[in-house]
Structure 1
Amino acid sequence: MTNLHVPRDGTTEFSINPFLPPDEYIPDGEPHVFGDRVYVYGSHDLSGMKGGMCAGDYVCYSASLENLADWRYDGVIYKRRQDPYADRMTEAGDRMGLKSYLFAPDVIEIDGTYYLYYGVALGKSGLALAVSDSPTGPFEYVGRVRYPEDAKPAGWTDDVDGIEDGDMAFAAGRPLMDARGMHMKGYPYDPALLVHDGRLFLYYGCAYCYVVELDMSDKRTVVKNPDTGTYETEIFAGNGWGMLAGLAFGRGPELQFGNGPSIREIDGRFVLAYYASGRGRFNGMYHAVASDPRGPFTLAGPLVSLGNVRYDNQVGATDRVGNIHGGMFEVDGTWYQIYHRHTKDGRQACATPLTRKADGTFEHAEYTSQGFSTDPLPAFRRWPAYMACYLTDGRGRGSTRKRGPNVAERAFLGGPDRRDAANEGIVSVVTGLAEGSVVGFKYFDFADGQDSPTTVTVELNSETAGTVDVRVDDPTKGPLIGSIRVTPTGGRWAPFESDMRPTSGAHAIYLVFHPDGPSLGSIASIEFSPTAH
């Protein structure tokens, strides 16, 4: 099998989705601006979902605020087995990671020190804190979020499962699920942090959402709400089974809070973004606003949805759906939302610019290929196929892991360490190109068009002969601007091209696949050229 090098002409100049390297899987991304760079902290899926979601150590990527197309790998910032509970559970044989993987983290800076908060899988270890003097670590373990010494529940035992405090402050130290069922109410899940007016607030929850204040002296001891006399304040009362039904079957309660709270203070108000699911397979980032860090919060609408469900009244998904999580940041007056999408090999970090309404809330942004780019991407480049944002099967249904086109890695050379220069043959492509499958990109700008002949080229590893139709604006009704005849490639990658009708302006581009046999295989790239090759 031959090696394949996918030219990155367009991606070296412009941001796309996913905005990190395609073989890096950082879901649940929380972006924070420290100095002149933005840093993204998230969970870490290993390529191929080896071990399941969140099996890797925490790593960090950052970019200059002046160039959001160029992301730097800052290395491992915190290792999974630095956590005493995760280490104890790993030693005990937790092969599935349900008690030992590091889930979605958040980082906050206070007086030059960086505080990393995280939870360990679905176990009963509460939320943990690690610290560093650098945004890129290394972080060192401190302890658990805890009750004050004089407020521990009766019969509480310290030094449980390797945790020196034994201070699981919420949910009575129960795991999210055990033989008795699900325990979502009060469960400490997906921490998010906010400093406001010299006070530190922690948001968390799964199906239910809560906020609690932390003592600024140690950043981990909970403080009672003086208005209620309780520690935690409930923001959303949840329906856990309803959330799961919305995720799995697309018919759960409407826009149910799922998990992944992310908090920002914007122009004197508090914006809470979070994962919500609901009817029609809606899986998206939603937001709510409040005038006080503890609420009450008022629903403000979707921010972005996988497969564009409900965007511009769209019914049904036009890509894979699943959980989603991420935070916001602002550069030069523009707010961006980070989130993740699902692929065969892991969840990839994506982004979209947000548009603010007159009341300060945000419009529902479109799920596109553009990443941080606020304008359509210039068409006359070579672009990787993995940036496709529209993947449907022959019946027009959004892809699933087992049905329809999927983004997937294809290894040609090298070993497991993908950062080794010898592994350049590992590439991300789109596979599963059966009859009527659609691979779509939003958006390309053809500017004023070209007077000279124009060609469109696709690079395929084709299993059979067939045709690739190129349409603009709509995969079924849009104008046909090119039709590419493909022959079998015998396990090799090869370019196929066709003349293309001159096109101007910005358009969505859809490739519609018509194999003579079961599948046209995989596509690695698409290229538009203003002159014939």
Structure 2
Amino acid sequence: MNRHHLLMAVAAVMLPLTQSAAQELNMPVIQTKYTADPAPMVHNDTVYLYTTHDENDAEGFHMKDWLLYTSTDMVNWQDRGAVASLENFEWFKGKNGAWAEQVIERNGKWYMYCPIHGHGIGVLTSDSPYGPFKDPIGKPLVWQKEHWYDIDPTVFIDDDGQAYMYWGNPKTYYVKLNKDMISYSGEIVEVPHIKDYQEGPWCYKRNGHYYMAFASTCCPEGIGYAMSKSPTGPWEYKGHIMNHTHRTRGNHPGIIDYKGKSYCFGLNYDIFRLETSRHAERRSVSVAEMTYNADGTIQELPYFLDCKLEQIEHFNPFRKVEAETMAWGYGLETVAKNPWGKERWNQLVTGIDNGEYIQLKGVDFAKGATSFKVCASCHLYGGTMEIRLDGVDGKLIGSVNITNTKTELKVFETKIKGATGVHDLYFVFKGSEKQKRNLFNLDWWEFK
């Protein structure tokens, strides 16, 4: 069976899900954009999830920029927008090719390693995890022009301060990075082939063991891993973190420890499956809790949909919360509020249609909320924002009628009754006979 026929066979078994069924499964954590190639990192008690971005019209790979999402509880994620794009590399004139990146922090600076397919691996730097990122060297950091294997970089810093960058499909390479993190010393080293390795390496160290997780042989790809006693190998294949399955096609691991638990991020097509059973490169990032054995090996996970992802702390609603923070928001969109402003990461929730909703999980109302504010803008007739607990038809604790504001963002307020304790929070959007689509835009909200 050739690659084309295999893809058609995979697509044939990927039947579309309904949204109600999706809510009962461990679905991807981002629904407002197509995200892929997760690159999580932990900094100051927050998970920073950097991703690639499949455009909404993608059939093959159509990728222009890199996105960021943050969370402190692993289920509610704030959209931080695009932190870098192909335009940051002046030496690349193409309009496509923003492939799987990784970001690492060192001495108060953030370094983003970005492959541009067919043009090597570039590096960007920033003084903030939110950007702006800039190109400090004006050329690729690595480019082996004799082939197109220079993709999917992963970087880690060993306990002795030596940094390493690994990459490659179908072969694996590494270099020793200098302390400046934007240059390297020595030769590019080819790693002996690891069983089942395809692409997307993710290298890290934990409890004295060196790990190389990777997308295992296509197609479909699983997540495999190898271990070593040294950052330069030899690498011993250990098996699957997640086995190959026709329930998805591609994969790409990102692994972290956070607040006493371990997590494996990957990708799939499950949000796209809500629309259609056909195949296109419109992927989404999922995450599952991961368990290590006493000897450092990893217990194999089922497919993401069958895993259970626990919230690790309750969500505080008694503060100004950006509206682009959510556990579920299928059908909605996010756009930059002001891409040229100081808070360039700030987003607006838009594309709000009748019947759509935002869900936040595990919201702690403590002894009770009495009022609610929301900052919104409305170009035409507007609609109603119902505030409900534990479901789209759950207990109604308040509602806000968002009316025409022209183009101005204004604050709307309502009283709240019956919100105590911990609940899932739903903002359910309702239109009218005059308007059922694009009802309004949301900036932020707050309970008191």
TM-score bracket, normalised by the shorter chain, equals: 0.5 to 0.7
Contact 1:233 1:294 in 2 (8 A): no
Q: C-alpha displacement at 1:370, in angstroms?
A: 6.1
Q: C-alpha displacement at 1:306, in angstroms?
A: 5.3
Q: 1:306 to 1:9 in 2, by over 3 A?
A: closer
Distance (whole Å) between structure 1 residues aligned to residue 213 and residue 99 of structure 2:
18
Q: 1:426 to 1:293 in 2, by over 3 A?
A: farther
Q: 1:256 to 1:422 in 2, by over 3 A?
A: closer
Distance (whole Å) between structure 2 residues aligned to residue 419 and residue 15 of structure 1:
27
Residue of structure 2 equivalent to 1:297: 235
Q: C-alpha displacement at 1:335, in angstroms?
A: 1.0
Residue of structure 1 equivalent to 2:265: 338
Residue of structure 1 equivalent to 2:99: 103
Q: Given the two structures, how large is their TM-score scaled by the length of structure 1?
A: 0.52
- 1:369 paired to 2:305: yes
Q: C-alpha displacement at 1:169, in angstroms?
A: 4.0
- 1:116 paired to 2:112: yes
Q: Given the two structures, how large is their TM-score scaled by the length of structure 2?
A: 0.61
Distance (whole Å) between structure 1 residues aligned to residue 129 and residue 306 of structure 2:
27
- 1:33 paired to 2:42: yes
Residue of structure 2 equivalent to 1:72: 78
- Secondary structure (helix, strand or coil) at the match of 2:251 reads coil
- Secondary structure (helix, strand or coil) at the match of 1:363 reads coil
Contact 2:265 2:288 in 1 (8 A): yes
Structure 2 letter corresponding to 1:351: V
The Cα RMSD (Å) is 3.6
Unaligned segments of structure 1, at least 5 residues: 1-5, 91-96, 144-163, 177-186, 225-230, 239-254, 308-316, 376-386, 388-408, 429-458, 460-533
Distance (whole Å) between structure 2 residues aligned to residue 115 and residue 15 of structure 1:
35
Q: C-alpha displacement at 1:271, in angstroms?
A: 0.8
Distance (whole Å) between structure 1 residues aligned to residue 211 and residue 197 of structure 2:
15
- 1:232 paired to 2:228: no
Residue of structure 2 equivalent to 1:269: 209
Residue of structure 1 equivalent to 2:65: 57
- 1:130 paired to 2:138: no
Q: 1:222 to 1:7 in 2, by over 3 A?
A: closer
- The higher relative CO (CA closer than 8 Å, separation ≥ 6) is in 2
Counterparts of 1:10-409 in structure 2 under 5 Å? 16-20=26-30, 22-49=31-58, 52-64=60-72, 67-86=73-92, 88-90=93-95, 97=96, 101-121=97-117, 123=118, 125-143=119-137, 164-165=138-139, 169-171=142-144, 173-176=145-148, 187-196=149-158, 197-216=160-179, 218-224=180-186, 231-237=187-193, 256-277=196-217, 282-305=220-243, 307=245, 317=246, 319=247, 321-342=248-269, 343=272, 346-369=282-305, 373-374=309-310
Distance (whole Å) between structure 2 residues aligned to residue 43 and residue 426 of structure 1:
29
Structure 2 letter corresponding to 1:236: P
Identity of matched residues, %: 21
Q: C-alpha displacement at 1:427, in angstroms?
A: 7.0
Q: C-alpha displacement at 1:237, in angstroms?
A: 3.0
- Secondary structure (helix, strand or coil) at the match of 2:52 reads coil
Q: 1:10 to 1:45 in 2, by over 3 A?
A: closer
Distance (whole Å) between structure 2 residues aligned to residue 263 and residue 357 of structure 1:
18
Q: C-alpha displacement at 1:209, in angstroms?
A: 0.8
Q: C-alpha displacement at 1:414, in angstroms?
A: 12
Unaligned segments of structure 2, at least 5 residues: 1-17, 273-278, 312-326, 338-346, 358-392, 394-448
Q: C-alpha displacement at 1:9, in angstroms?
A: 13
Distance (whole Å) between structure 1 residues aligned to residue 260 and residue 171 of structure 2:
32
Structure 2 letter corresponding to 1:141: D
Q: C-alpha displacement at 1:232, in angstroms?
A: 2.3
Q: 1:427 to 1:212 in 2, by over 3 A?
A: farther
Q: C-alpha displacement at 1:422, in angstroms?
A: 4.0
Q: C-alpha displacement at 1:109, in angstroms?
A: 0.5
Deviations 1:68-98 (A, max 9, x none): 1110011221122121233x234xxxxxx3x
Distance (whole Å) between structure 2 residues aligned to residue 29 and residue 287 of structure 1:
16
Asked which structure has the greater CA Rg, the reply is: 1
Q: 1:306 to 1:54 in 2, by over 3 A?
A: farther
Q: How many residues align?
A: 306
Contact 2:41 2:256 in 1 (8 A): yes
Distance (whole Å) between structure 2 residues aligned to residue 111 and residue 414 of structure 1:
32
Q: 1:7 to 1:299 in 2, by over 3 A?
A: closer
Distance (whole Å) between structure 1 residues aligned to residue 151 and residue 172 of structure 2:
9
Residue of structure 2 equivalent to 1:524: none
Distance (whole Å) between structure 2 residues aligned to residue 57 and residue 168 of structure 1:
19
